[in-house]
Amino acid sequence: MLRLAWLFVAAWVVPALAAPPDDPLRSPAWPYMAERYFAGQTVRFDAAVRVLMPGAAEDPLAVPVYVDAGALADVREILVFADLNPITTILRYEPGELARPSIGFRFKVQQATPLRAAARTGDGVWHLGGAWLNAGGGGCTTPSQASGSGLWKDRFGEIDARLWPRADGLRRLRLQLIHPMDTGLAGGIPAFYLETLALQDSDGRTLARLQTFEPVAENPLLSFDLRGRGAVSIRGRDTQANRFAGTVAP
């Protein structure tokens, strides 16, 4: 009875929350982002979603980010986007019950922008963390020259990976897929990028699923924190239906 009463109250409260809350990062694009990603849903700015990222982009083609929503229970999905990037959506991560809601990745940045990580919990609420990324450099010299590695020309589709035990009993998986991750925004080069990645343990249980988009950096380098047993199998597919697979032994 109590639970029903709570649901009843929630139904009245939700429409009142539909107007997006004020943005602590004061992004000019926040109203559009709120409409685009969270229309009709409940959004809450929440320090429990941590975004680790340098304040300035030393290499604008590979800005390193680690998102950690491990302080929240029952995270179903993590959506990462950059308000002022020409393509805003970076990735959608579904950690499942056998993965910690945390992920490391690199992305391409066009100009100074907020980077947001939104964690959706089982009650449907989006918890938003984020930080500003500046484009300017630091002291003594310029940011690194912007140039792709070209590694994928020889090694397209190969996966490098490794599993480490973590102090907290989870396992850290790091993997790199050799792939150009073309955005389609550079003259004459059509979009061509990794779209999906799935991780399974040796019992065939799904550990996590990931959708990646154009802004993910060339040769995606990803970090996951996983439970599960034995080897981890990796299955991926890109926008031209190329399939990638490999197995990492513990």
Partner 1 sequence: MRRLPFSSALLALLAVGAAHAQYDYRLAPQALGDGAYVFVGALEHFTRANGGNIVNTGYIDTPAGAVVIDSGPSRLYGEQQRALIERRSGRPVARVYITHAHPDHFFGDQAYAGVPVYALPATREAIAANGDALADNLYRLVGDAMRGTHAVAPGLPAGAGRIEVGGRALQLIALAGHTDADLAVFDERSATLYAGDLVFHRRTPTTPNADLARWLAALDRLETIPYKTLVPGHGPVLNGPAAIRETRDYLRWLDAMLREAAARGVDLPELAELPVPERFGDFAVLRAELSRSAAHLYPALETQALRRLAPDGRE
The answer to whether 172 touches 225, Cβ cutoff 8 Å, is yes
Q: What is the DSSP string of 64-126?
A: EEEEE-TTSSSEEEEEEEETTSSS-EEEEEE--TTEEEEEEEEE--SSSEEEEEEEEETTS-E
CB 199 within 8 A of CB 93: no
- CB-wise, 140 or 167, nearer to Zn ion? 140
148 lies in the site for partner 1, by CB under 8 A: no
Cβ neighbours for 35, distance < 8 A, ≥ 6 positions apart: 20
Among positions 6, 32, 58, 250, the unique one binding partner 1 when judged by CB under 8 A: 58
What is the strand order of the sheet 206-212 is part of? Answer: 43-45, 126-133, 113-121, 75-82, 89-94, 206-212, 194-200, 232-238, 243-248
Is-contact 222 105, C-beta < 8 A? yes
Amino acid 235 reads R
Q: Is 221 in the site for partner 1 (CB under 8 A)?
A: yes
The binder of 172, among partner 1, Zn ion, none, by C-beta within 5 to 8 A per type, is: partner 1
53 is a contact residue toward partner 1 (CB under 8 A): yes
Question: Does 36 help bind partner 1 (rule: CB under 8 A)?
Answer: no
Which one of 137, 184, 230, 250 is in contact with partner 1 (CB under 8 A)?
137
Q: How many CB atoms lie within 10 A of CB 13?
A: 9
Each residue 116-155 as x (binds Zn ion by CB under 5 A) or -, in order, gives ------------------------x---------------
Q: Which is nearer to Zn ion, 142 or 147 (CB)?
A: 142
Query: Does residue 229 belong to the site contacting partner 1 (CB under 8 A)?
Result: no
* Residue 137 contact, options Zn ion, partner 1, none, Cβ 5-8 Å cut-off depending on partner type: partner 1
Site for partner 1 (CB under 8 A): which residue of 1, 15, 40, 145? Answer: 145
Measured from the CB atom, the residue of 58 and 74 that comes closer to Zn ion is 58
Give contact residues for Zn ion (rule: CB under 5 A).
140
